[in-house]
Amino acid sequence: MKIVLLGYGKMGKTIEQIALDRGHEIVGRIDVNNRTLLETFQKGDVDVAIEFSSPEAAVDNIRDCLKRGWPVICGTTGWLEHRAEIEDLCRQTNGAFFYASNYSIGVNLFFRLNKILARFMKNHPSYQVSMTEIHHTEKRDAPSGTAITLAEGIIEQMPSKKRWVNDAPEEPDAVVIESLREGTVPGTHVVRYDSDVDFIEIQHVARSRQGFALGAVIASEWLVGKQGVFGMEDLLGETGTI
């Protein structure tokens, strides 16, 4: 598989190593310093583009790849106000687009556990739900895409919650997300239900970027040859993981 990497920071380099270990070829490494290199590739030069850049660059990167007929894997967060536009473009071009806020298999199992717990807790209003997410100091968006996905899962299951808020005082109809940026933390997410007498807490702690990167490469292998808009539930549902 011939891969173009859009974004060549720490995550892009980790993806590169895993892709090479799995027998794939990296035909391009695009970042802010050589963005014009993207123009030199033709459709047949690339089997899939893997996009882990920045919120500011992601939309143009995805748009350009879809217009070139390349399937796109995207793990950049912080740009989702443009998601409907990108998904429409994918359909118009008969392309393939795969987005996940987190490509880790463990995190996606955690997403499912989070929904199940929220379903149990919706009938127990004495417990107040909140979330904390911790990431490295270089992460530019807050809250994390993973935290937003967790909050959306809670809102889906709990009629009393209508929205999420970030680093704000507790509000009855909102899931409050606290965002912390510390050192080199790859990603920690905690969901907590607190009452006067006890609390219930679930958490996922990433030890490295390896799990995220491996999931992105596996998703790339799965996406090639398909058309449409996809996410981790499509991939993991088909493989029987979830």
Identify the band that residue 141 occupies on the pLDDT scale cut at 50, 70 and 90: confident
The predicted model gives 213-240 an average pLDDT of: 90
Tokens 């050589």 locate to 34
Are 133 and 183 contained in the same domain?
yes
Contacts of 1 (CB under 8 A, 6+ apart): 19, 24, 25, 47, 48, 220, 221, 224
Model confidence at 117: pLDDT above 60: yes
77 is in an annotated binding site: yes
100 is in an annotated binding site: yes
pLDDT digits (tens, 9 = 90+) for 51-84: 999 999 999 999 999 999 999 999 998 899 999 9
Strand order in the sheet with 174-181: 163-166, 174-181, 128-135, 188-194, 199-205
Sign of the Cα torsion 221, 98, 26, 211 reads negative
CATH of the domain at 88: 3.40.50.720
Which among 234, 221, 187 is positioned nearest to 206, based on CA atoms?
187
Give the pLDDT score at 152.
96
Contacts of 27 (CB under 8 A, 6+ apart): 2, 3, 4, 41, 45, 46
Are 156 and 218 contained in the same domain?
no
Identify the band that residue 240 occupies on the pLDDT scale cut at 50, 70 and 90: low
Model confidence at 204: pLDDT above 90: yes
Give the pLDDT score at 43.
76
Give the pLDDT score at 236.
85
76 is in an annotated binding site: yes
Which positions are catalytic? Answer: 135, 139
Instruction: Report yes or no: 19 and 3 within 8 Å, Cβ to Cβ.
Output: yes
Are 13 and 83 contained in the same domain?
yes
Structural domains in the chain (count): 2
